[in-house]
Chain A
Amino acid sequence: MSLFKSLAVKPWERKGIIGGLRPEGAFDTSPEKVGLSYFLVIASVVFSLFMVSYVIRMELPDWQPLSEPGQLWANTLLLILSSVLFQWTRNIVSSDKPRNLMTAFFGAGLFAILFIAGQLMTWGNLQEGGFYLTSNPANAFYYLLTGLHAVHLLGGLWVWSKGAIRLLSGAEAKDLRLSVELCTLYWHFLLVVWLILFAFLANT
């Protein structure tokens, strides 16, 4: 039943059991995925508001645009690889005969760690070039946005590391299925956020 139809029913007229075992209107998925989606909306709002603030602050006269480091292209590739490997992991745990699970799962985490290391290197290079946090609001936003994105990825890596420990302790693919599905969704989300941020930073 559509949202509008649901809201238009007259509950005082409808008696009896409605919706069978599953409550009518509930999503046909696990509560964990609904919970993660809820969190992703919050994270999207946070990033959107930072970007709106960026645009407003950009209009003020002291703004000096920052030339984004070329290394960001390489970092972006690392994050794409991480996301692709997570998708592969997801396919593996969903299949009947899981193969290469270790390679895909640990590869996904490794590329994410390399992405964060790459982002830290851009910070170091910018510092060396005299582009400090306080010297211009454009710099401050660069550190803030990339840092915030990295913090989100670190949160994901914490969940990944719990899965890694379980995998090393001999857990089977089906035991990791939910965890991998959630991580994959989260990684794809962070990739999209990063692509938008990168395009945004590069074009302003």
Chain B
Amino acid sequence: MAYVPLADQDKEMEMHHPHSWVEKYVWSQDHKVIAIQYGSIAVFTGIIGLTLSVLFRLQLGFPESVDFIDPNFYYQAVTMHGMIMVVYFLTALFLGGFGNYMIPLMCGARDMVFPFMNMLSVWTFLLSVIILMASFFVGGGPTGAGWTLYPPQTAMEGTPGHDMGIVLMLISLAVFIVATTMGGLNYAVTVLQYRCRGLTMMRLPLTVWGIFVATILALFAFPALLVAAIMMLFDTLLGTSFFMPAVIEAGAPLDHNGGSPLLFQHLFWFFGHPEVYIVALPAFGLVSDVLSTHARKNIFGYRMMVWAIIAIGGLSFIVWAHHMYVSGMHPYFGFFFATTTLIIAVPTALKVYNWVLTLWEGDIRLNAPMYFAIGFIFTFIHGGLTGLFLGNVVIDLPLSDTYFVIAHFHMVMGVSPILVLFAAIYHWYPLMSGRMFHEGLAKAHFWLTFLGAYAIYLPMHYLGFLGVPRRYYQIGATDFIPASAQDLNASITIAAIFVAVAQLLFFVNIIWSLKYGKKAEKNPWGSASLEWQTPDLPPKHGNWGDELPTVYRWAYDYSVPGAHEDFIPQNTPETVEPTVDEEHFDPDQDASKADI
């Protein structure tokens, strides 16, 4: 069947126009409403994850100061915090939230290819969150096995939530995977099949590239988690021994025999490492577009940025065992995985250079989204460099399971993507709401979050060097950890509470601005990409009015020499107006600049 743009088909049939409030805002098939639903559920879950982190930080900073935080609660809070933040918050918000909002708009489509499946995806995601949250209310509470859910610990009686908690966690993950598969199928097929006329793959904004490749990664990575979850469910509920070895618990042998906990670790990290990039690649894409727009410069090295996204995606599948250096693997394996880990740093560093070079001699507009985007470059370089430490076997061995690891991954895949999220939410807020946010409040939010995050994680590197182990409810007295480490822990906790409370500025800003914010003019940032060129702000159902746009150029025509404005939208035909002042335009010089 030949491609037919949706606009040319029976619109009433294809667009599922809502007829009631419920159809418009609850059972909506509009990708923008679904994006907001996905985002809201993810943010709500993220707030729970954040609250849990404050609680266990209270225990670490001020041991036993809060009555209900006993060791069991501590482990449950740590476990749920980790899983919520990585899977239910970051993955859902980047793919379900921004993927849904941006892909059809940036591709010039009216909606996703399969809107009904898209709607099912968000409700299935909600179901997975409900199942996860239900584990707080069952006997034994949620699992406290650590977010990596390593067996046999998950099933041991000493681990909180070893019965219903872990079962609900595994079922919730399986349901989440079903939800992301339905969503991912939509994102990939929409990018491949529903781009508008003239929009080649190499004219797509990097946001779409990032989300598209992350979706392909999810295609290969999430099955590993599903397989691990199914086999662990069998072990837990039916008594098989896929992962569970022979264990003697409280003097009595368990029913299991001969299983391989290492097999679980391999499966988990075969998912777990690409998962880092499932979060990071959309963030890379979003931040590239924010930086380019507010620097009024085309993104430096667009093709290299696309190649780097693809290369990182591919390489992310052959580095997983660097999470397992201490599992007793053969040294040659360690050597192999250390090498691949260092190789993946090359395209990643290339992206960082290109972001910095995009800023170079740009007409930088230092507004709130740009603050967050530049802040991201700092935190990402910081987290990336400590990754090089941990990627080397000999350095990883002493640092493994210390606070250095916590500091590394929070900088690189906690703080960094969250700064991008804020950059992106502020940047696209006028598009989503039709209002401007309060700039001063947003900048205050940036400084408190950025400096606060450093106050939390910078000292953790030092704690790691001291050898302070992670996962401990309480350090206690040791020969090698000085008492002053506890003072550092207390200061980290104070900073964490400070940063958590500072997020109120963000929520106040976006909620207050919905009603009282200045009305946004069309394309307020002067962006060249397609999503800002819709006839209405915010875009209405169907996005494009009667006619789909036609694309004539890439998404980064900023400060084109001789052009009347400092940006040329993607859908501006060259024939409509002379975009270039030919008297002052030297094509050879321009081409050589572009090739640099």
Contacts and interface: CB of A to CB of B under 8 A. Distances in A.
Interface residues on A, range: 35 or more
Contacts, number: 161
A34 B197 CA distance: 19
Nearest to A59: B260
A19 B203 CA distance: 12
Contacts of A6: 200-202
Nearest to B579: A15
A26 B198 CA distance: 12
A12 B594 contact: yes
A192 interface: no
A107 to B, nearest CB: 27
B426 interface: no
Contacts of B523: none
A7 interface: yes
Interface string B182-214: 001100110011111111111100000000000
Contacts of B581: none
Contact of A49 (B224, B242, B574): B224
Contacts of B595: 10
Given A15-B553, A49-B224, A140 B202 contact: no
A57 to B, nearest CB: 6
B201 A25 contact: yes
A109 interface: no
A168 interface: no
A22 B556 CA distance: 23
A16 B554 CA distance: 10
B223 interface: yes
B230 interface: yes
A16 B219 contact: no
A12 B554 contact: yes
Interface residues on B, range: 35 or more
Contacts of A121: none
Interface stretch (A37-45, A66-74, A159-167): A37-45
A137 B219 contact: no
A15 B202 CA distance: 12
**Which of B197, B257, B263, B591 has the largest number of chain A CB atoms within 10 A?**
B197
Q: Is the interface of A mostly helix, strand, loop or mixed?
A: loop
A27 B223 contact: no
B552 interface: yes
Contacts of B202: 6-7, 9, 11, 14
B200 A23 contact: yes
B267 interface: yes
B2 interface: yes
B552 A57 contact: no
A23 B594 contact: no
Contact of B189 (A8, A18, A35, A63): A35
A7 B306 contact: yes
Contact of A35 (B185, B224, B266): B185
Contacts of A20: 197
Contacts of A11: 200, 202-203, 302-303, 553-554
A78 to B, nearest CB: 26
A83 B414 CA distance: 48
Contact of A18 (B200, B302, B591): B200
Contact of B258 (A38, A60, A144, A148): A60
B181 A49 contact: no
A96 interface: no
A71 to B, nearest CB: 23
Contacts of A12: 298, 302, 554, 556-557, 594
A135 to B, nearest CB: 10
A31 B193 contact: yes
A13 B200 contact: no
Contacts of B3: 21-23, 26, 28
Given A11-B203, A12-B594, A42 B189 contact: no
Interface of A: 6-31, 34-35, 38-39, 41-42, 45-46, 49-50, 53, 56-57, 60-63, 133-134, 137, 140, 144, 148
5 contacts: A7-B303, A7-B310, A31-B193, A35-B114, A62-B258
